[in-house]
Structure 1
């Protein structure tokens, strides 16, 4: 196979059936050939998210209860100590 060729339905282990690039329109590109193994550019283009648990916090914004706000910020805020609402 020439380098740069587009392939699909790729087996990770020989004889185990295709596992990669099986969806409609999904293709992988052959980048490097080394004997019986090869390096492919996969369609997912996954990127590392960094530390463990960082995906959990993606697109989550802090939530502050009205009870803990100042009186000028929210009707339930203010008061001495904990407000009974």
Structure 2
């Protein structure tokens, strides 16, 4: 079972920021502190073994392009999940 830290306090960020999960597929989750151009895009926290949870004002498309360009990981190996896509669910 994965420890998701559901009740971990949210970082202080503007309330209108989108709530995302960045899930890595078949690759080790990179250390985002090594990529300041990514870590500056929002508030990030570890979320399970392969994921980050984060809040940002950047669109999914722009985040995908920035993450892929900065890390060299193709978009086939990660997924950005927007919490707005799961209204009515307890995924987050």
For the superposition of Structure 1 and Structure 2, which TM-score range results when normalised by the shorter chain?
under 0.3
Max radius of gyration: which structure? 1
Q: TM-score, normalised by structure 1?
A: 0.20
Between structures 1 and 2, the one with greater helix share: 2
**Relative contact order, CA 8 A, sep 6+: which one is greater?**
2
